[in-house]
Amino acid sequence: MAEELRRACLMGHPVAHSRSPMIHNYWCKELGIAGVYELKDLTPEEFPGFVRGLGKNGYVGGNVTVPHKEVAFKLTSKRDAAADAVGAVNVLWAENDRLMGGNSDTHGFIANLDERAPGWQVPGCRAMVLGAGGAARAAVYMLRQRGVEVDIVNRTLLRAQELAGRFSARAHGTDALPRLLPGADVLVNCTSLGMAGKGALTIDLAPLKRTAVVYDVIYVPLETALLRAARSRGHRTVDGLGMLLHQAGYGFRKWYGGDPQVTPALRSMLEADIAAKTPK
């Protein structure tokens, strides 16, 4: 008797650009699991009803992306500690007929930094996070979990202050950048600036110490203008692809079981796809 196919999906609006199906379907094949991962483009009006009927719709769970993460948080019966702290859910699964929620962006963020820039956490480590949205929440939460002092820089100071208050960090407007850069050991871009199709991130890295690590959570393009400028100055750089890869394993284990690994072969497959589809 054939094993029942377990289906999971990515729920968002839009979702066509996502590489998540490549990751999960690769792992299903590698691990010999009867599973498939699909895309579900759901408007804000469609999302709550779809999630409430996730099992009836044929899914064992799934990921949640923009713009539904905060709504998903409210729809879940119980959440993991990271989701509760960040106030957003990006992984859904069923447990004893209850809808459960988790946040794997937090794990993905820090696992990627640990892997790509080993030894980044120097004594008295200070990080500067650009942005105050969902990615910034995940980054600030994990950096504070590691005991890192964090400065949040955002165009809208009020949003930076709200995030800083949540995690005992410091909030600043963008005018503080030149003053803060010399003290940063890690610089993280959590804005959409620099992403393909978005505006450029304009920042002068001259005040940044050469030992500082520069991390951009964007992965299309794989090397943003920020990372290119940092690399040319001799900084260690971390792109956003590893964050996507490392966060994926959390949900996979909930839906399918097994022990998926982020391997060079998997990363190379996604790098090739990004390179082929990113405008030159």
Q: Which positions are catalytic? A: 69
CA distance 205 to 182: 9
| Three-state secondary structure string covering 96-136 | CCEEEEECCHHHHHHHHHHHHCCCCCCCCCEEEEECCCHHH
- Residue at token pair 């948080």: 73
274, 86 in Cβ contact below 8 A? Answer: no
